[in-house]
Chain A
């Protein structure tokens, strides 16, 4: 058996490159489960299903989630929609859709003209760093959307127990 000599190694595999490659491999295997369930097309499909043949315009919907969250298990989500909330002009419903969750729908809230304000706070689960959409349906039939991006360091939904 010959002794391993780094200087005679033809591909010059230094300790540093070896260790960084190992680190990358470790990272990729850690991220693999989330890659197998990238659900962006499904989320877009869910959004298309909500709007039907109507076009969704950008604006009026303000979605707030922290830009960086440590645990995706409980993320505070705040939602407010610009609307006078009168008897003939109010927000009917708002759908919250996550691009990378195993199931794109998070929740749907139905307001009425008696809601006073189209505002809502709740806590959601996020499986990964992603963009979250909020689609609002107004009483006049128009659709508006807003989004928020977030980084999640510890994902929810798929952990083992």
Chain B
């Protein structure tokens, strides 16, 4: 896996203050488990995303640890309360120096 890859965020651009918004975050990643072997019997080393975080205007609102049991191209759908307009920063960190960052803007009225 390369040092970074494509990621995608789906969430509403506008929300009323106090409502709960749904965020879908996906990262393109093989999530190699480390339990597979090639045809000539060599073990394929583990290569996974280990950590996903979501910061809302600098404050962490959601975090997730991934293990080899998480599927390829990890998709995670979670919620957060729309408190203020601003930026949500999403970050994925994984094996082999993998790091991906994505962000989205939200206008809260």
Chain A partners chain B = yes
Closest residue to A37 on the B side, CB-wise?
A: B35
Q: How many residues of A contact B (CB 8 A)?
A: 35
Q: How far is B62's CA from A119's CA once the two chains are assembled, in angstroms? A: 11
Q: Given the known A-B contacts A74-B72, A125-B71, are A160 and B62 also in contact in the complex, defined by CB atoms under 8 Å?
A: no
B36, A124: Cβ atoms closer than 8 Å:
no
A114, B61: Cβ atoms closer than 8 Å:
yes
Q: Taking the complex as formed, is A101 at the interface, i.e. its CB lies under 8 A from any CB of chain B?
A: yes
A98, B69: Cβ atoms closer than 8 Å:
yes
Contact of A116 (CB < 8 Å), options: B59, B68, B71, B79: B79
Q: How many residues of B contact A (CB 8 A)?
A: 34
Q: B55-96 vs A: 1/0 string, CB under 8 Å?
A: 010011111111111111111111111010000000000000
B78, A73: Cβ atoms closer than 8 Å:
no
Q: Given the known A-B contacts A73-B72, A160-B39, are A115 and B67 also in contact in the complex, defined by CB atoms under 8 Å?
A: no
Which residues from A are CB-within-8-Å of B81? 114-116
Closest residue to A126 on the B side, CB-wise?
A: B69
B62, A112: Cβ atoms closer than 8 Å:
yes
Least distance between A84 CB and chain B CB atoms (Å): 13
Closest residue to A94 on the B side, CB-wise?
A: B64
* B 6-50 contacts with A by CB, 8 A: 20-21, 33, 35-39, 44
B33, A160: Cβ atoms closer than 8 Å:
no
Instruction: List chain B positions with a Cβ less than 8 A from chain A.
Output: 20-21, 33, 35-39, 44, 56, 59-81, 83
Instruction: List chain A positions with a Cβ less than 8 A from chain B.
Output: 73-75, 96, 98, 101-112, 114-117, 119-126, 156-161
